[in-house]
C-alpha cells in the first residue's frame, strides 16, 4: 500500500486541508475538517476507494467544476496513519490533527475547551492564517 499512500499524500500536500474550527452548534467547542479538493473526479474516486468517505460538488468562481472528498470520521485516523509518513509540507498539520483526534473526550470542562482552542490556534499558525497570534515570516 505504500505507493498508493505516498501518491495520496502528494495529493493531500498540494490539494488537501487540515482545519480545526469553531463548531457553531456547540458554543466554544472546536471541530475538525480533513478534505481534498480537485477538479478531477476520477482521482477523488480513487481516494474514496482507498478510504471511503464522501465526494461533494463545490461552488467555484470559475467555470470548471470542483469536487471535495471528505473521509468518514471513523477512518480519519487510519487516513492520517497511512499518509503522514509521506507528507512533507503538511506533515505538522497531520500530526497536530491526529493529536487533536486522539485527545478528544466528551468532557466539556474549561480545561478541555482551552486545550482544544490552543490546538486550533496552533493549526491556524501552521496553515498561515492571518488571524493567528503570529504570521509566518517570508523566507525569500
Sorted by where each begins, the domain ranges of the chain are 2-126
Give residue 26's pLDDT.
64
3-class DSSP state of 22: strand
Residue 133 dihedral angles phi and psi, to the nearest 5°: -60, -35
Mean per-residue pLDDT of the chain: 87
Is the pLDDT assigned to residue 47 strictly greater than 50?
A: yes
- Average pLDDT (83-99) is 96
Locate 17 and state its grid cell.
486541508
| Angle made by CA atoms 13, 16, 17, in degrees to the nearest 5 | 115
Is the pLDDT assigned to residue 136 strictly greater than 50?
A: no
Is the pLDDT assigned to residue 131 strictly greater than 50?
A: no
First-to-last alpha carbon distance for the chain, in angstroms, is: 37
Question: What CATH number does the domain located at 2-126 have?
Answer: 3.10.28.10
Give residue 27's pLDDT.
64
What is the strand order of the sheet 16-22 is part of? Answer: 16-22, 30-38, 66-70, 54-58
Find cell 481534498 and name the residue.
Answer: 36
Question: What does pTM read for this prediction?
Answer: 0.84
Q: How confident is the model at residue 124 (pLDDT cuts 50, 70, 90)?
A: very high
Amino acid at each position: 500500500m505504500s505507493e498508493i499512500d505516498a501518491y495520496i499524500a502528494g495529493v493531500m500536500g498540494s490539494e488537501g486541508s487540515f482545519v480545526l474550527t469553531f463548531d457553531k452548534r456547540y458554543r466554544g467547542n472546536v471541530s475538525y475538517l480533513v478534505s481534498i479538493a480537485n477538479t478531477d473526479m476520477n482521482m477523488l474516486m480513487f481516494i474514496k476507494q482507498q478510504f471511503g468517505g464522501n465526494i461533494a460538488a463545490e461552488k467555484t468562481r470559475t467555470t470548471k467544476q470542483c469536487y471535495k472528498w471528505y473521509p468518514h470520521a471513523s477512518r480519519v485516523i487510519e487516513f492520517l496513519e497511512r499518509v503522514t509518513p509521506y507528507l512533507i509540507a503538511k506533515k505538522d498539520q497531520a500530526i497536530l490533527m491526529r493529536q487533536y483526534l486522539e485527545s478528544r473526550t466528551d468532557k466539556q470542562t474549561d480545561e478541555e475547551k482551552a486545550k482544544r482552542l490552543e490546538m486550533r490556534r496552533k493549526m491556524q499558525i501552521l496553515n498561515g492564517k492571518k488571524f493567528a497570534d503570529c504570521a509566518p515570516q517570508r523566507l525569500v
